[in-house]
Amino acid sequence: MAKITFITSDGKTKTVEGTSGSVMELAVQNKIKGIDGDCGGVCSCATCHVHVKPEQWNLTGAPDELENDMLEFDENVSEYSRLSCQIKVSEDLDGLELTVAK
């Protein structure tokens, strides 16, 4: 069980609990605004873009090559960008805070 907090573009904060699947799926399930996951989680659409807090970067780890390629030229990319469909929910993520990208 991991508690993950999403901060959406309207400044609202929502904490949800998950045990399995991807962070994108968890967000869709909990109707987090701005996370759509249109491609179903195959790293093809970038509609699940989030920013990780720098001090929590070690929790999520860095993106792999494909994910990095999808993010590099995204207009809202940051040093701590991830596509949440590529982050697996596990206990290790407990306390994670993610800001949904615009």
Partner 1 sequence: MSTTTNGQVCVVIGASHGGVNFAFNLRREGWEGDIILYDIDKEFPYHRPPLSKAYLTSEEGTEQSLLFPKENYEIDNVRLKLGIAVESINRDSKFISLSDGSVQYYNKLVIATGARPFIPPIKGIDLARNLYHMRTAEDAVNIRKAFNTSSKKQVVVIGGGYIGLETAASLRKLGASVVVLEREERILARVTAPVMSEFFTDLHENNGVKVLTGKNVISIEQEGDTNVVVCDDSTQFEADLIVVGVGIRVNTELATETGLNIENGIKVDETARTNDENIYSIGDCTYHYNPHFKCYLRLESVQNAVDQGKVAAKTMCGEEVVYDTIPWFWSDQFDVKLQMVGLSKGYTDIVIRNEEAENSFSAWYFKDDELLAVDAVNFAKAFVLGTRFIKSGQKLDKLKLADLTIPFKPNSFLAE
Q: Catalog residues that contact partner 1 under the rule CB under 8 A.
A: 25, 28-29, 31, 33, 36, 38-40, 42-46, 66, 69-70, 72-75
In the complex, the smallest distance separating the C-beta of residue 32 from partner 1, rounded to whole angstroms, is 11
Task: Name the residue nearer to partner 1 (CB basis): 46 or 97.
Answer: 46
Q: Between vectors from CA 62 to CA 4 and to CA 83, what angle results, nearest 5°? A: 55
One-letter amino acid for residue 31 of the chain:
K
Pure H helices in 1-102: 23-29, 57-60, 65-72
Q: Which is nearer to partner 1, 45 or 59 (CB)?
A: 45
Residue 30 C-beta: closest distance to partner 1, Å: 9
CA nearest 24: which of 96, 83, 93?
A: 83
